[in-house]
């Protein structure tokens, strides 16, 4: 079976790929090439999105616990439990981390899901998370085996689509962790938005983090996430939902499985209301435990199949950088302050407390100096990345408040932290954040007039982004910053080129995003990022402003109109207004609210692509009002601009005997004119005269005519001069609702002007009667 990728890179042969991953003899498993991994992940997301948060599964079924990258032990699991599709399988999460073969493990499970979508159900565990996999090994393994972090990114995008729970024949509820005080009935799980990073609290986080405990009710979890839940919540949950059993994983069990909470209705039953299934033998290659799977046949009879570590798994020695993550519990406990500080940073940033977020990380790094030296590289890199983001955010915040001295100090800290000499930070992330820092420093120096210094920093940012091959998140923002700066320096042609590059990158990114969901939420976040529709509006307007500076009115008009259309699409009533998404548009229009402000050529005072966001939701209404006010006056300015530019090329056309009159325009400087065929009537070339705007009158030559389309072509002698001419546009770029300006000589009234909109597209103008004008 093959998967049609639809991306022009060929089909992915599932059978062949699965066989390559299953070694024969001493052969090593072959992981997917990166391009096939990307395609498999994209295809799998389209399958997973169709599954419910409580996915129904039919008997017979094999229920499996944590695997944790112990790939060869997972192959043994299939040998013991049976092969798909003869048996249905449920894997209850934690496929990756800690073990040495997480890549092979997850790739095989993905391929099996693609090959047999109904035969295998993959639940999300707490380790199917960007944050956790950067600490406990999967991220490092992807770097080691693929040479970059792309494979990790593709897989973590799939994590967001994994279903949360499964239910077997409406009686056995399968979940990675356990229960939540926020969930009483299964329908509450069905309503969770699962396509996201696992949150730190709430029902979603609870069901992947919670643990059962021999207590009566609920208690705080020592893990720092989820809950400890006891017998009474378990009984209550099973009774409300008509369940016989909760099957879960998440905890090492030396015997492979463990029942808890006896059923009060069946006191003689040696089982219980809940069972923990553990499927990674000799966990972390040192715990000495056996593993199990729960095999349930067509009649619902349960049997635990026990198995031990296979020799191939024992031969897999973990790399040095995973040693701490897989070491003793006290070593893992030593990491807790850093993990909690990183979580707190994210929460404080989201709440707008950027000072508190930075103090949180700086404090834990100072207080735990001894542990820092032993920390896994991935966790340490994550902390430094967060701190660099915090410094940039505070720098832009203080710049916005005109605290330039404080702002400069934060940018200098960010620059020092992202220096290539900092070997603690992941090189790829350091490169991205250094570009962000340079970009913001460019805005900093531009804000108080040091334009050449600003240009140096923005050029540095651009150079990094060009070398990063798409890893930097906002190269379009850098081009927009360069456009604004160069425009302010009077370099309008170069500014136009940067605006055009920004627009191309934004439209390409928008198209790519439409092809794959959801938006990436991994890695360092550039503080100047905003959504693409807002930046597209900015790019169009910048291009319009630069074309106006270059005296190209028709191009300016077209780009201003596209900017307006983008703004309406982004901020219009039909889509609502989001200040968080549209701050950049708000900043743009904030420069034009003065009564005497010109709507053109002013944008270079702003900082498009800069990094301070509109935080006040009350600005939403002001932004919307400003847009309509702006374009109310802008349209008038556009019309006068068009008249000034195009008017000299408009001519009056008359018959010598006065039998007809009309308008036309010069479209070639050597004297060619287009007009309507009905203006020509039955005249010949010698019967027609043309009046120019300088009051000169010339006899015209009839070049050609086409009555069905009502078009006629004339030519007048140029007499050695270059006549003012209109440049013809491309009608394929027209959109319904676009502004139209008409200039002509109706009924002999020279230089009359009217304005309207494009009312329709794709209509034929051909007429057998020859009468195309039916109203006046």
Active-site amino acid positions: 127
CB 393 within 8 A of CB 354: yes
Phi then psi for residue 518, to 5 deg, are: -90, 180
Which three-class secondary structure state does DSSP give residue 116?
coil
Q: Is the omega angle on the peptide bond into residue 518 within 30 degrees of 0, that is, cis?
A: yes
Residue identified by tokens 């027209």 is 734
User: Which among 741, 529, 569 has a CA at the least distance from the CA of 641?
Assistant: 741
**Distance separating the N- and C-terminal Cα atoms of the chain:** 66
Tell me how far apart the alpha carbons of residues 462 and 498 are, in angstroms, rounded to a whole number. Answer: 11
Bridge-based pairing state of the strands 650-655 and 302-307:
unpaired
Q: Is 551 left (phi over 0), alpha (psi -120 to 50) or beta?
A: left
Contact 691, 664 (CB under 8 A): no
Q: Please report the DSSP string for 583-623 in residue order.
A: HHHHHHHHTT-STT--SSS-GGGS-TT-S-----TTHHHHH
List the structure tokens of 411. 């940018």
Nearest Cα residue to 38 out of 197, 155, 196, 160: 155
Residues β-bridged to residue 756: 740
- Rounded to whole angstroms, the Cα distance separating 303 from 295 reads 5
Cβ-in-10-Å burial (0-12, 13-18, 19+) of 617 comes to exposed
Could you tell me the CA-to-CA distances from 19 to 27, 511, 559 in Å, in that order? 12, 35, 54
Rounded to whole angstroms, the Cα distance separating 139 from 149 reads 7
CA distance 554 to 548: 9
DSSP characters over 12-58? EEHHHHHHHHS--TTPPPPPPPHHHHHHHHHHHHHHHTTS-SEEEEP
Distance CA 453, CA 460 (A): 11
Place of tokens 């402003």: 545
Are 124 and 176 within 8 A, CB to CB?
A: yes
The three-state (H, E, C) secondary structure of 211-261, written as one string: EECCCCCEEECCCCCCEEECHHHHHHHHHHHCCCEEEECCCCCCCCEEEEC
> DSSP letters of 654-690?
EETTSS-EEEEEE-STTSEEEE-HHHHTT--GGGEEE
Distance CA 473, CA 254 (A): 45
**How far, rounded to the nearest angstrom, does the alpha carbon of residue 344 sit from its chain's CA centroid?**
24
DSSP per residue over 520-587, as a string?
---S---TT---HHHHHHHHHHHHHHHHHHTT-HHHHHHHHHHHHHHHHHHHSTTT---HHHHHHHHH
Q: Report cis status (omega within 30 of 0) of the bond before 695.
A: no
Question: Measuring CA to CA, which residue among 437, 434, 410, 411 is closest to residue 422?
Answer: 434
């Amino acid at each position: 079976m093959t998967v049609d990728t639809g991306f022009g890179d060929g089909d992915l042969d599932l059978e062949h790929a699965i066989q390559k991953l299953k070694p024969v003899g001493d052969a090593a498993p072959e992981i997917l090439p990166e391009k096939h991994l990307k395609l498999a992940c994209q295809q799998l997301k389209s399958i997973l999105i169709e599954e419910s948060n409580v996915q129904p599964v039919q008997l017979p079924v094999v229920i499996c616990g944590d695997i944790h990258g112990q790939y060869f032990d997972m192959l043994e699991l299939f040998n013991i439990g049976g092969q798909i599709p003869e048996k249905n399988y449920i894997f209850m999460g934690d496929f990756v981390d800690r073990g040495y073969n997480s890549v092979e493990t997850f790739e095989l499970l993905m391929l099996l899901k693609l090959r047999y979508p109904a035969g295998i159900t993959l639940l999300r565990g707490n380790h199917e998370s960007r944050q956790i996999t950067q600490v406990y090994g999967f991220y490092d393994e992807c770097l080691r085996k693929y040479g970059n972090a792309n494979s990790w990114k593709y897989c973590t995008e799939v994590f967001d689509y994994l279903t949360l729970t499964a239910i077997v024949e409406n009686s056995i509820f399968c979940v990675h962790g356990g229960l939540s005080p926020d969930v009483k009935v299964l329908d509450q799980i069905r309503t969770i938005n699962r396509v996201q990073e696992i949150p730190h609290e709430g029902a979603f986080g609870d069901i992947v983090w919670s643990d059962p405990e021999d207590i009566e009710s609920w208690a705080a979890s020592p893990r720092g996430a989820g809950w400890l839940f006891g017998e009474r919540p378990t009984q209550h949950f099973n009774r409300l939902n008509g369940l016989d059993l909760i099957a879960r994983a998440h905890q090492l069990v030396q015997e492979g499985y463990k029942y808890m909470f006896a059923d009060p209705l069946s006191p003689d039953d040696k089982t219980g209301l809940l069972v923990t299934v553990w499927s990674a033998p000799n966990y972390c290659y040192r715990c000495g435990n056996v593993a199990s799977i729960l095999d349930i046949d067509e009649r619902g009879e349960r049997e635990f199949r026990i198995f031990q570590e296979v020799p191939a798994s024992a031969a897999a020695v973990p790399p040095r950088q995973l040693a701490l993550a897989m070491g003793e519990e006290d070593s893992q406990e030593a990491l807790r302050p850093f993990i909690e500080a990183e979580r707190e940073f994210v929460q404080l940033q989201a709440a707008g407390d950027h000072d508190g977020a930075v103090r949180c990380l700086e404090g834990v790094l100072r207080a735990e100096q001894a542990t820092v030296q032993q920390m896994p590289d991935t966790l340490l890199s994550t902390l430094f990345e967060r701190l660099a983001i915090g410094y940039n955010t505070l720098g832009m915040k203080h710049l916005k408040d005109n605290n330039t001295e404080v702002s400069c100090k934060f940018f200098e800290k960010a620059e020092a932290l992202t220096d290539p000499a900092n070997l603690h930070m992941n090189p790829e992330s350091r490169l991205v954040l250094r570009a962000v820092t340079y970009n913001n420093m460019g805005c900093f120096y531009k804000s108080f007039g040091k334009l050449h210094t600003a240009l140096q920093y923005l050029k540095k940012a651009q150079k990094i982004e060009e070398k990063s091959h798409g890893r930097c998140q906002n190269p379009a923002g850098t081009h927009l910053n360069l456009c604004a700066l160069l425009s302010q320096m009077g370099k309008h042609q170069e500014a136009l080129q940067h605006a055009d590059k920004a627009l191309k990158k934004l439209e390409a990114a928008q198209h790519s995003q439409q092809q794959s969901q959801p938006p990436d939420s991994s890695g360092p976040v550039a503080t100047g990022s905003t959504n693409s529709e807002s930046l597209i509006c900015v790019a169009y307007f910048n291009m319009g402003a630069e074309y106006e500076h270059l005296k190209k009115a028709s191009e300016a008009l077209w780009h201003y109109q596209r900017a307006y259309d983008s703004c309406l699409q982004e901020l219009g009533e039909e889509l609502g207004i989001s200040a968080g998404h549209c701050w950049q548009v708000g900043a743009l229009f904030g420069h034009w609210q003065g009564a005497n402000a010109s709507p053109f050529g002013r944008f270079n005072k702003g900082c498009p692509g800069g990094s301070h966001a509109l935080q006040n939701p009350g600005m939403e209404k002001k932004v919307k009002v400003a847009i309509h006010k702006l374009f109310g006056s802008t349209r008038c300015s556009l019309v006068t601009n068009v008249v000034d530019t195009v008017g000299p090329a408009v001519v009056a056309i008359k018959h010598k005997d006065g039998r007809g009159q009309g308008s036309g325009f010069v479209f070639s400087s050597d004297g060619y004119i287009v007009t309507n065929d009905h203006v020509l009537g039955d005249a010949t070339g010698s019967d027609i005269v043309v009046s120019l705007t300088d009051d000169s009158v010339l006899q015209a030559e009839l070049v050609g005519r086409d009555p069905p389309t009502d078009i006629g072509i004339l030519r007048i002698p140029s007499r050695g001069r270059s006549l003012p001419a209109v440049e013809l546009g491309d009608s394929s770029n027209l959109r319904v609702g676009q502004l139209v300006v008409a200039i002509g000589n109706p009924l002999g009234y020279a230089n009359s002007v009217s304005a309207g909109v494009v009312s329709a597209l794709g209509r034929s103008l051909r007429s057998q009667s020859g009468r195309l004008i039916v109203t006046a």
